[in-house]
Chain A
Amino acid sequence: EFVLTQSPVTLSLSPGERATLSCRASQSINNYVAWYQQKPGQAPRLLIYDASNRATGIPARFSGSGSGTDFTLTISSVEPEDFAVYYCQQRSDWPLTFGGGTKVEIK
């Protein structure tokens, strides 16, 4: 099973700052990582798939990078609506697994 470890657990930022979220895999998973955003009381929403492809309707301030075991989600300038929990997920093999999440909170 591929274990995904996200860091930091919590990221405190002010609007306008840059956010850098990390997802590390226990083994190489090529570029088979996605990122989801979840706001309180809502279902998750797909942001990025295959490490760097933005899903439909996702603003350009969200970008993904990485391959192998280390992946990054970057929000270039955090907007008020971006404060949420972010999860990474791998599709390299069954079982599909998620990271534990990073909460981006207002500083």
Chain B
Amino acid sequence: EVQLLESGGGLVQPGGSLRLSCAASGFTFTNYAMTWVRQAPGKGLGWVSTIGRTGIDTFYADSVKGRFTISRDNSKNTVYLQMNSLRDEDTAIYYCAKALGTVGPTTSRWFDPWGQGTLVIVSS
């Protein structure tokens, strides 16, 4: 069974930093791109960042580019999201999601399954 367990969320002041982790199990981690998606309280879904299988290819939403960094450690089956210069509007549940399949953009940009999420609150 595929499992994704996010951690690292919490309360942080504006301008601060957090590092989120997503520990994966139940599948061959190195075969799949991984993605972070966030959801502000009571709002819809927003794509944040995607990392390819090797970690070389990374993609970011404009709203986080230059502030957030996605990375992965394939030896630990874990993907990370380093969040710096946090703003009030970054407050959200952050979900980690596995790519549906391994065949390039055909299946790597669909998300299945998702973890249960970790809550990040940016507030003074």
A residues engaging B (CB < 8 A)? 34, 36, 38, 42-46, 49-50, 55, 87, 89, 91, 94-101
Q: Is B52 an interface residue (CB 8 A)?
A: no
CB neighbors of A among B78-124 (8 A) = 95, 100, 105-107, 109-117
Q: How far is the CA of A34 from the CA of B100 in the complex (A)?
A: 11
CA–CA, A100 and B46, complex, Å: 9
**Besides the known contacts A46-B111, A50-B110, A89-B45, 5 further A-B residue pairs in the complex with CB atoms under 8 A apart:** A36-B45, A45-B114, A91-B110, A95-B62, A101-B44
Q: CA separation between A49 and B97, bound complex, in Å?
A: 15
Closest-CB distance, A62 to chain B (whole angstroms): 14
A36 contacts across to B, CB distance below 8 A: 45, 111
Q: How large is the interface on B (under 10, 10 to 19, 20 to 34, 35 or more residues)?
A: 20 to 34
Q: List, in ascending order, chain B residues with CB within 8 A of A94's CB.
A: 59
**Could you tell me if A43 and B117 are in contact, using CB atoms closer than 8 angstroms?**
yes
Q: Is the interface of A mostly helix, strand, loop or mixed?
A: loop
Q: Complex Cα distance A98/B45, Å?
A: 6
B61 CB-CB contact with A under 8 Å: yes
Shortest beta-carbon distance from A19 to chain B in Å: 19
Contact B113 A87 (CB under 8 A): no
CB distance A46 to B45 under 8 Å?
A: no
Chain B residues lying within 8 Å of A99, measured Cβ to Cβ, are 44
- Pair B44/A98 contact, Cβ less than 8 Å: yes
> CB distance B110 to A44 under 8 Å?
no
Distance in angstroms between the alpha carbons of A53 and B76 in the assembled complex: 32
A87 touches B45 (CB 8 A): yes
